[in-house]
């Protein structure tokens, strides 16, 4: 089936609201899309360097989140070119992108651009309160325009260089957003972390991209210092590497018995989600030990437990849960509290997905306890068929699709169009690997 026919078919399926996948292992090559996390950062630093096109974004399959950030930066650039006068704000629509919102709030403040931020989906309810303390005394104001909601939000005034503080155990997007914004401020700045830093890999990536654009940022025991001596600048283009966050879905499919060759993954990277490689290796070894010891589902209380610490890699939880469910392990996912404020409550929605697929699991205070089903099944099927409510969460859609490769019957996924948020070509790639979607097989 030609590319155009695949896209036409997917458009029809998305419009119907439900996508069906027949059980079928996958085989073939995949070129993984660019890192969404790196692309956000590259676009912002390129914009601050004076040429947003320095960030080389693959426009053929660009995600909704990256579209939102690029559109917003272009609008900010227009406002600066037109000259900022008066109090009339520009309007920035972040769509459903939390990264766009949290990265651009401090940027608008540092650049002194009066800005009204709006959004859709769950975004107006997602928290941004950690910025309230940052704005106090900064020279800029953030004003909530709807009681009880984060959006719409008005930014006024001009944030100055100086000393700021944030907790380290909140979304790293606050820390990354403030660091990138302060790189454009006049003068030296310091960001002190008042608690231990979580999601460190994402902040490390931010600093790496900032340095690639000539920014002097130094980390010490308590936070980060920016000299302010050099503004973002770069002469050559910045290549955005392939995304381990998206590769994780194919790596789990491979773990479950598909044969997928990922062609363009970097071996050396600051991406925290590269941890999926080690997590799958550890999970496999634990399951193997349980098999060798004869510990089966009927003796689940005796099975060795594999623990996943989601503190630094929360985005891996939905797809790693699928891998855990298909292994002779009891898997405990911990430190996943912040998943409750993602595109869905990802603890609850991941649990519901597993339940729909026949996997025993329990929601805990900070995560999930998953009882793997592989040892109590016969043959090659670890999951039941059934209907998964994606809760309009892109990572739930893709995780359920990977589970379908080892299911007993059709897996139906509600609101599959959510994949457009991060990986628009996911189902196109899935079909090209031999996946049977709604009865269509192009393998």
Beta-ladder partners of 33: none
**Dist. CA 206–CA 191, nearest whole Å:** 14
**Dist. CA 231–CA 71, nearest whole Å:** 22
Q: Across the chain, which distance is largest between two alpha carbons, in Å?
A: 74
Positive or negative, the Cα torsion across 394, 261, 441, 357?
A: negative
* Token pair of 145 as six digits: 């325009």
Residue 414, helix vs strand vs coil? strand
A 10 A CB-CB count for 71 gives 15
* CB-count burial class (<10 Å; 0-12, 13-18, 19+) for 5: exposed
Give the helix ranges, DSSP H, for 83-187.
Answer: 98-111, 130-135, 172-182
Contacts of 347 (CB under 8 A, 6+ apart): 317, 336, 339, 340, 363, 367, 368
**Dist. CA 405–CA 22, nearest whole Å:** 8
Torsion angles phi and psi, residue 100, rounded to 5? -55, -50
**Dist. CA 38–CA 242, nearest whole Å:** 9
* Token pair of 275 as six digits: 């941890």
Residue 129, helix vs strand vs coil? coil
Which of 188, 142, 137 has its CA nearest to residue 161?
188
A 10 A CB-CB count for 11 gives 11
Helix axes 36-48, 98-111, angle to 10 degrees: 10
Answer yes or no: are the C-beta atoms of 246 and 315 closer than 8 Å. Answer: no
Catalytic positions: 315
H/E element, 348: helix 346-356
């Amino acid at each position: 089936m030609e590319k155009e026919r695949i896209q036409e078919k997917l458009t029809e399926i998305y419009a119907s609201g439900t996508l069906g996948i027949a059980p079928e292992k996958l085989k073939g090559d995949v070129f993984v899309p660019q890192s969404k996390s790196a692309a956000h950062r590259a676009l912002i630093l390129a914009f601050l360097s004076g040429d947003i096109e320095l960030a080389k974004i693959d426009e053929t399959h660009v995600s909704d989140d990256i579209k939102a950030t690029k559109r917003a930066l272009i609008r900010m650039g227009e406002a600066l070119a037109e000259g900022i006068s008066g109090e009339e704000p520009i309007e920035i629509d972040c769509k459903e992108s939390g990264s766009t919102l949290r990265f651009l709030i401090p940027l608008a403040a540092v650049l002194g651009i009066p800005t009204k931020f709006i959004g859709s989906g769950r975004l107006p309810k997602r928290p941004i309160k950690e910025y309230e303390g940052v704005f106090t005394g900064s020279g800029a104001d953030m004003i909530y325009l709807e009681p009880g909601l984060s959006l719409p939000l008005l930014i006024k005034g001009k944030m100055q260089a100086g000393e700021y503080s944030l907790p380290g155990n909140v979304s790293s997007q606050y820390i990354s957003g403030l660091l990138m914004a302060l790189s454009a401020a006049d003068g030296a700045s310091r960001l002190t972390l008042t608690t231990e830093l979580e999601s460190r890999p994402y902040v490390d990536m931010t600093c790496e991209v900032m340095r690639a654009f000539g920014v002097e940022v130094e980390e010490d025991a308590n936070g980060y210092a920016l000299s302010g001596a050099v503004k973002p600048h770069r002469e050559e283009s910045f290549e955005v590497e392939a995304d381990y966050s998206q590769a994780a879905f194919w790596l789990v499919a491979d773990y479950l018995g598909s044969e997928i060759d990922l062609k363009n993954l970097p071996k050396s990277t600051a991406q925290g989600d590269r941890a999926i490689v080690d997590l799958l290796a550890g999970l496999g070894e634990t399951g193997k030990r349980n098999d060798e010891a004869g510990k089966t589902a009927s003796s689940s209380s005796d099975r060795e437990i594999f623990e996943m610490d989601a503190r630094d890699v929360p985005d891996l939880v939905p797809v790693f849960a699928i891998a855990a469910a298909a292994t002779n392990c009891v898997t405990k996912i911990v430190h996943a509290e912040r998943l409750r404020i993602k595109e869905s409550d990802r603890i609850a929605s991941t649990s519901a997905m597993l339940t729909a697929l026949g996997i025993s699991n329990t929601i805990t205070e900070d995560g999930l306890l998953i009882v793997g089903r592989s040892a109590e099944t016969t043959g090659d099927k670890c999951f039941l068929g059934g209907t998964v409510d994606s809760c309009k969460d892109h990572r739930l859609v893709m995780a359920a699709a990977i589970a379908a490769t080892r299911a007993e019957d059709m897996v139906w996924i509600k609101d599959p169009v959510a994949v457009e948020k991060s990986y628009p070509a996911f189902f196109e790639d899935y079909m090209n690997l031999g996946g049977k979607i709604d009865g269509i097989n192009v393998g």
